[in-house]
Amino acid sequence: MKYDQARWTDDSGELYEPLLSEKSNERVEAGSGNGDENASGSPLPDDLTRDSLELPAPSEPELARHYTRLSQMNYGVESGPFPLGSCTMKYNPKFTEDIAAHPAGLVHPGRDPETVQGNLELLYGLQEQLATIGGMDAVTLQPPAGAAGEFTGILIARAYHESRDDDRSEVVIPESAHGTNFATAAMAGYDVVSLPSDEDGRVDLEALEAALSEETAALMLTNPNTLGLFERDIEEIAEMVHDSGGLLYYDGANLNALLGQARPGDMGFDVMHYNVHKTFATPHGGGGPGAGPVGVVEELAEFLPRPHVRRAGGGYELYDPEQSIGKVHGDLGNWLVLVKAYAYIARLGDEGLADASAKAVLNANYLASRIDYEIPFGPFHHEFVASAGEQDAADAAKRMLDHGVHPPTTKWPEIVDEALMTEPTEGESRRSLDHLAAAFEAVREEDTETLETAPERTAARRIDQADAARNPRLSWQSLDDEE
């Protein structure tokens, strides 16, 4: 199966879709006022404010066509399979969008808690649901992303040790862990101790014993790990960490593999974050709002961010935990994202969540059985890491776009040569998985020259990914300045 992506261009053939301001000659003025208003009320300096703003006023057809064209020039979870290993790009059901758009949910964050009891009841309910799912005793919903959840969790761990006058300087992290784990520990002021894997791709217990000491604040662990492997020695690992006086942190990236099957709290984890975009089908990334709730055992509950929602009499109230680490996000988190997660959990229920997890594991194993690539580790759960062999994994991945599927994660984890980290998620049908397998197989047979020039059928061809990450153009004005 081949794929041709829409490619809107200007007269010279360059990729181009005009801005709305360029497509519409009409303008409307939004807002009005004078300089005195800003001087008396705005916390922003005068050079960052304006008295009025002219906005383009396109017709409805112009507006609809503009955004349709932009969507046609992009690939997303509604275009086809998106097996981005470890990032879990799963389909976002539309019913959650309808619920989040309900007028009753559109409330100002500054409202008195007494006037938003329904909102607080929903948040409290989500806290309880996530706590049950993770085997935790308390949950905060404030962090606005998984990485922010990691940082919050490690700050809680640091506050816990500080409250005991226990000055610890190190966080132990497996070499195959998410890159954000290393950054999180460093941002929290810790030295990172990298932990090698054993020959089976799991935690090397001897290396762990050597790494643990009185300086160990925490071990950050994903289970199943980034190879899709369940850490079979997790109870022993937890005991070793706790015996050293450290805490065991659960990276929730792969929780989608465990729903209804196992709980981090039962394994001995003390603190964890939940990626609601990976596990509970809320939107993922793209610079938009996210959510990364954090769960803790009872001993750590007093360090949760403030404010926190709890029952009070016949209703709900906000309170500040006794030794709170403070606020980590405005208000109570990204409210509407949390509404979507709540709706997803409520719709599926216990059996539905367990079924989603089982199907995620089944789909990963089915896909792996359909492709003729080396998969060095197993048995695995919701994802696997194949090797592109003599091919360059990044080139192979770009060629997969021409076959109508988003490529897997590439070049990581580094313990697999030319890694293709693949996670199809539970939402893909057998037909979709067969299409994905066919793309893998077609790319495996292609020559180096074809791979090095791929993709050919997408709106954007080869881009300088490193330059795009290091020197992003964050506005059209900055692009104009360069030109």
Residue-wise pLDDT tens digits, 123-151: 999 999 999 999 999 999 999 999 999 99
Q: Which whole number is the average pLDDT over 412-440? A: 96
> Three-state DSSP class for 318?
strand
pLDDT tens figures, 264-312: 999 999 999 999 999 999 988 666 689 999 999 999 999 999 999 999 9
Residue 226 has pLDDT above 50, yes or no: yes
Band the pLDDT of 359: cuts 50, 70, 90. very high
Taking alpha carbons only, the member of 350, 333, 353 closest to residue 281 is 353
Does the pLDDT value for residue 12 go beyond 80? yes
pLDDT of 5 > 80? The answer is yes
pTM of the shown model: 0.91
Domain boundaries, the chain: 98-346, 359-470
Q: Which of 480, 234, 235, 256 is nearest to 355 (CA)?
A: 256
Instruction: Please give the average per-residue pLDDT across 409-423, as a whole number.
Output: 95
Is beta strand 419-422 parallel, antiparallel or unpaired with respect to 384-387? antiparallel
The chain-wide mean pLDDT, for the chain, equals 92
Mean pLDDT of 451-473: 89
**Is pLDDT above 80 for 24?**
no
Q: 135-145 in b/e burial notation, b at 16+ Cβ within 10 A?
A: bbebbbbbbbb
For residue range 361-392, what is the model confidence (pLDDT) as tens digits? 999 999 999 999 999 998 999 999 999 999 99
pLDDT in tens, 78-99: 888 999 999 888 999 999 999 9
pLDDT-derived band at 477, boundaries 50, 70, 90: low
* Residue 41 pLDDT grade (very low, low, confident, very high; cuts 50, 70, 90): low
Among 46-55, 156-165, 336-345, 407-416, which stretch is predicted with the lowest mean pLDDT? 46-55
Q: What is the CATH number of domain 98-346?
A: 3.40.640.10
Task: Specify the higher pLDDT residue, 56 or 361.
Answer: 361
- Residue 479, pLDDT score: 64
Burial of 46 (0-12, 13-18, 19+ CB in 10 A): exposed
Question: Residue type for 140, please?
Answer: T
Weakest mean pLDDT among 225-239, 271-285, 423-437, 464-478: 464-478
Between 453 and 464, the higher pLDDT residue: 453
Q: Check whether 476 has a pLDDT greater than 70.
A: no
Q: What are phi and psi of 382, to 5 degrees?
A: -85, -10
Tell the burial category of 149 from Cβ atoms under 10 Å away from its Cβ (0-12, 13-18, 19+).
buried
pLDDT digits (tens, 9 = 90+) for 391-404: 999 999 999 999 99
Q: What per-residue confidence (pLDDT) applies to 363?
A: 98
> What digits encode the pLDDT tens for the residues 333-354?
999 999 999 999 999 999 999 9
Q: Say if strands 170-174 and 191-195 run parallel, antiparallel, or are unpaired.
A: parallel
Of 434, 433, 386, the C-alpha closest to 410 is 386
What whole-number distance in Å separates Cα of residue 477 and Cα of residue 109?
32
- What is 359-470's CATH topology? Aspartate Aminotransferase, domain 1 (3.90.1150)
Give 44 or 429, the one with higher predicted confidence: 429
